[in-house]
Structure 1
Amino acid sequence: MVSDLPPDPRFFVLEADVWGPLDTQFDKAGAVNRGDAPRCPQCGEPIGLLTWLPPYRVELELHGQGFGDFAAGPGNDVLISERFAQAFRAEGLTGLLGFHTVEVVRARRKRKGPKPGAVPAYVVVSPGFGRAAVDEVRSHLRHKKPMTCAECRYSSLDSIHGFVLEPGTWQGEDVFRPRGLQGDIVVSERFAALVKRHGFTNMKLIPTEEYIWDPARKGPPAARSAAPP
C-alpha cells in the first residue's frame, strides 16, 4: 500500500554497463512481430515504441569477457538472466512484465577475448509504465518544447542534469518508467539491494539526482529566479 512506502525513498536510473567487463547486448533475430505502441490514456500520444510480440528470438553481442545478467537492445524490452528472474520473483519485487523465454539463435563476440562459456538462459521483460511522475520544479531538465499533457507529462528534452520524483506519485513498484521520462528505467532501493546482494552483472545504478544525459553538451538549464516576496 502507498501508506506503507518509505517516507524518503531513493531511486536509481538503470542502465547497461556499456564497455564494462560483462557488457552484453542483444538484437532481435529473424522476422519480428510488432504490436501497437503504448499510448497516453489522456492525450493519445505514444509514450513508448512498438511492442515486441512472440516469438522472441535474439542474437547476443558479447562486448565484454563473459555474459551479463542484463542485456539492453532495441525497443522497450530488456533481457535478464533466468537466475536474475528467479531472485526477482522469489523476493517479491514488482514492476517487470512478461518473463517470456527467449531463444538465443546466435552469440557473437564483438571484442577480442577468450572464448565465452555456455550461454545462460534469458527471459525478456518489459519495465512497466508507472504512476510516479518527474517533479518539474525540483528537477534539472532543459526543454526543447514545454509539456502539454498533465497525464503523460511528455516534453521534448535537450538535457537532463539530475531529476527527482514528485512526492506522493510513486506507487511502490521496484522497476518502472516514470511519467515525464518514459524513456528511462527507474528502480527502487530494494532493486539496488537485490543486485548488490546477488552480484548481478552488467548494470549501472545511477542515483536519479546524479543522472546526466546531455548528448549535445548544452549543460544544465539556467537556474530559476527566486519567487518575488
Structure 2
Amino acid sequence: MASELPTSPRFFVLEEGVLGSHYDADVDTVEPVNLADAPRCPRCGGFIGLLKWLPPYRVKLELHGEELGDFIENSAYDLLISERFAEAFRIEGLTGLDGFHPVEVLRVRRMRKGLRKPVTVPRYFVVSTCFGPAAVDPAFSRMRISEPPSCPECRMSGIDTIHGFTLEPGTWRGEDIFRPRGLVGDLVVSERFKDFVERHALTNVRLTPTEQFVRDPSNLGPAPLPTP
C-alpha cells in the first residue's frame, strides 16, 4: 500500500477481468496490419507508447470464457470496446479516448471445450488512450525503481515493483482515462469513470484503487517507506 493515501480525487487502475473469468478473451490482429510510428515525448524524444495501429481494423478473437464482454485490452494503447460502451461514453461526455473506429471481427474461436452455446458478438470499436499530464508522485508511492527518470516531462524509468501509487497533486487536468507520466504503460481512470462502469454494468472491467494496485512479478516485496 502507498505510504500516504490520496483523499480527493480518487483514481483507479483499469485492467481486464482476471484470467479464466466469464469474459476472458484475447485479440489477434489480422493481416494486413498497418502501423504508424510510436508516439515520442515532446521533450526528450523517447518513446512513450507502442506503434499505432492503423486501418483496416480486422481481428480474430479467442474466447477462453463463456461470452464476450464490453472491454478487451489489445494493449495499453489500443482497446476494443463494445458499441454500448462507446455510445454511453460519448453521450455522457467522458474524456480520454480517441478514435472510435469500427472493428471487423472475422472469427470467434472458443478455447474452452464443452461450451456449445452460440457466441453473441458485440459490435466493437477500437479506441486509443491519451497520454495525460497527470504524473505519478514518487514521494508518496511504493515503487522499486532500478533506473530513475531522466526526463522531467515523460518521467520514463525502470520500475521493478509497484505496491501502490498516487498522483502528484495539481497535475491531473480532468481526463477520465489516461496514461500517467511515469507509468505510461498503465491505464488510470477517474472516479467518474468508475461510477460510469458500475452504472452501465460494463463487463470484463477490473478497477483497482491506485493506492492498492500491486505489480511485483519477481516477488521482491514493497519498497521501503520514504524517510519523513
Scaled to the shorter chain, the TM-score interval is over 0.9
* Residue 170 (structure 2) aligned to one of 165, 168, 171: 168
TM-score if structure 2 supplies the norm length? 0.93
Write the distance in 1 (CA, Å) between the matches of 2:116 and 2:181. Answer: 43
In the alignment, structure 1 segments of 5+ residues that lack a partner are 1-6
SS, match of residue 177 in structure 1: strand
Contact 1:17 1:204 survives alignment (8 Å): yes
Write the distance in 1 (CA, Å) between the matches of 2:120 and 2:22. Answer: 17
Match of 2:142 in 1: 140
Contact 1:51 1:75 survives alignment (8 Å): no
SS, match of residue 107 in structure 1: strand
One-letter code of the match for 1:28? T
One-letter code of the match for 2:49? G
Contact 1:160 1:212 survives alignment (8 Å): yes
**Alignment map for 1:153-192 (pairs within 5 Å):** 153-192=155-194
What is the CA-CA distance between 1:134 and the residue it aligns to?
0.3
One-letter code of the match for 1:206? T
Match of 1:16 in 2: 16
Instruction: Pick which of 109-118 and 152-161 moved more.
Output: 109-118
Cα pair distance change 1:223/1:82, threshold 3 Å: same
What is the CA-CA distance between 1:24 and the residue it aligns to?
2.4
One-letter code of the match for 2:200? H
Within the alignment, does 1:130 sit opposite 2:132 as a pair? yes
TM-score if structure 1 supplies the norm length? 0.93
What is the CA-CA distance between 1:114 and the residue it aligns to?
3.5
CA deviations on 1:129-149 (whole Å, 9 max, x unpaired) are 100000010011101111111
Q: Which runs of 4+ in 1 moved over 4 A?
A: none
Count of matched residue positions in the alignment of Structure 1 and Structure 2: 220
One-letter code of the match for 1:60? L
Write the distance in 1 (CA, Å) between the matches of 2:61 and 2:141. Answer: 36
Write the distance in 1 (CA, Å) between the matches of 2:166 and 2:116. Answer: 42
Aligned identity (percent) is 59
Aligned CA RMSD, in angstroms, stands at: 1.2
In the alignment, structure 2 segments of 5+ residues that lack a partner are 1-6
Contact 1:65 1:116 survives alignment (8 Å): no
Cα pair distance change 1:29/1:111, threshold 3 Å: same
Match of 2:99 in 1: 98
What is the CA-CA distance between 1:27 and the residue it aligns to?
1.7
CA deviations on 1:46-93 (whole Å, 9 max, x unpaired) are 011111011111111111111100001246201000010000001110
Write the distance in 2 (CA, Å) between the matches of 1:127 and 1:175. Answer: 7
Contact 1:66 1:116 survives alignment (8 Å): no
